[in-house]
Every structure is written in structure tokens, then in C-alpha cells.
A and B are shown apart, each in its own frame.
Chain A
Amino acid sequence: GNSVTQMEGPVTLSEEAFLTINCTYTATGYPSLFWYVQYPGEGLQLLLKATKADDKGSNKGFEATYRKETTSFHLEKGSVQVSDSAVYFCALTLYNFNKFYFGSGTKLNVKP
């Protein structure tokens, strides 16, 4: 089947620390991969995406590389800020399928 597995949170970091949130997937076809972010009380916002193997998505200092050989799409940021505190969701969608499959989310807390 199709599914996304994310590392469990919460992840607590100090400001300017390096962030990695792991995401692995299983898919019946060739997926596109996404990271969405959800701030408290708000809906999901697209953070970045990659549509084929070895593509790197990037936005606002966040990066993730589509690794087909390891079926992974880990999210990284070199220096986190307090304002990055949110829940991060990894997701996939497939050709001919129109729904997204989401992971369970990873909560990030960044302390000053």
C-alpha cells in the first residue's frame, strides 16, 4: 500500500541548532513527495516538494532530497529559529491518484 512514516516527536531544539526530521515512505507507484507545515490553530501550508528521484526541494532555509534508493525524504534546516516551532507533515501523492497520504506529523519546539 501507500504510507508515510515520520519520526515521532516532539523534537525540542535550541535556537540555531541543526534540524533533521526523518520521513520514509512506501508507494505502489512513483510518488511526488511533500513537506507541509502547520502552525498552531492554522491549516497546512506547503513548505517544499520534489517530484522525481534526486530532486531537492527547498524553501525558507529548509531542504529535503528525494532518495528513491532509501525511500526517504528527510527534512533539514541548518539553523532553526523560534518561529519554526510548528508541526511538520511529510506526504506523498501518486500518478492517477489524487489524494495525499500524510504521515502523523512531527512537532518541533524551538527554545530561545
Chain B
Amino acid sequence: DTGVSQDPRHKITKRGQNVTFRCDPISEHNRLYWYRQTLGQGPEFLTYFQNEAQLEKSRLLSDRFSAERPKGSFSTLEIQRTEQGDSAMYLCASSLARKQGTKETQYFGPGTRLLVL
């Protein structure tokens, strides 16, 4: 399977705990994106990387959230001191940007569904 993969697919945690999600993009893709999707809504942009550089962060990404892509391949999204409002599907997407500013297609992973009790 050469698509975007995410791990775990489901996570249940108690309020106040830390959680970490992993995303493995399509192998040749240089851009990686994180989105959050709450029930009945479309995905909302959180952050994106070009190679290992984090180039943009949404205001939705509070200081409890941190994302890394240390070697420009896989990425992790960590949520510290989780709150019930963090319950959502966290989607990862990747794309291949051949030229600065091009509008490229993003390919999505299956998501990690987080439930904070």
C-alpha cells in the first residue's frame, strides 16, 4: 500500500493525558498537512510542512499542540493535557509540490479518531 498511513486509527484517553499521533506520507511527497475534523463538519487546516520545515500554523493550533517532521518523512502530532474539546478526527495529507506556489492535489490518510473522556 503506497497511500498515506496514520497510526493509531483510534485513541481513547482521559482528560489531562498527552497523546501522540503518527503520519507516514506517500514516499516521494515533500509536503505534509494536518487537519482536524469534528462531527458533521469539514476538515479544518492545522499546520503543514515542506520537507522538515513547518511553514504555517493555524490559530486553531493552541500551544498544547505540537507537530514535528524531523527528517522530512513521517510526522507526529502531539496534544498535551488533552481536553474534551480535542475529541475529533485528526487527518493527515501529503502532496508533491514541484514548484513554489503550485496548487497540488492532497492525498489523505484514514485519520486518527480521538476521544477524550
Residues of A within 8 A of B (CB): 4, 31-32, 34, 36, 42-46, 49, 51, 89, 91, 93-96, 98-105
Contacts and interface: CB of A to CB of B under 8 A. Distances in A.
Interface residues of B, number: 28
A102 B101 contact: no
Contacts of B74: none
A105 B111 contact: no
A48 to B, nearest CB: 11
A49 B43 CA distance: 17
Contact of A99 (B6, B45, B101, B105): B45
B21 interface: no
B40 A104 contact: yes
B85 interface: no
B109 A43 contact: yes
Contact of B41 (A31, A96, A105): A105
Given A103-B42, A104-B42, A95 B101 contact: yes
Given A43-B91, A43-B110, A100-B43, A95 B103 contact: yes
Given A99-B45, A99-B48, A101-B45, 16 more contacts: A4-B42, A42-B111, A43-B4, A43-B91, A43-B108, A43-B110, A46-B106, A89-B42, A93-B103, A93-B106, A94-B103, A98-B33, A100-B45, A100-B93, A103-B42, A104-B42
A42 B108 CA distance: 10
5 contacts: A42-B111, A44-B91, A51-B103, A98-B55, A99-B45
A96 B89 CA distance: 27
B115 to A, nearest CB: 14
Contacts of B4: 43
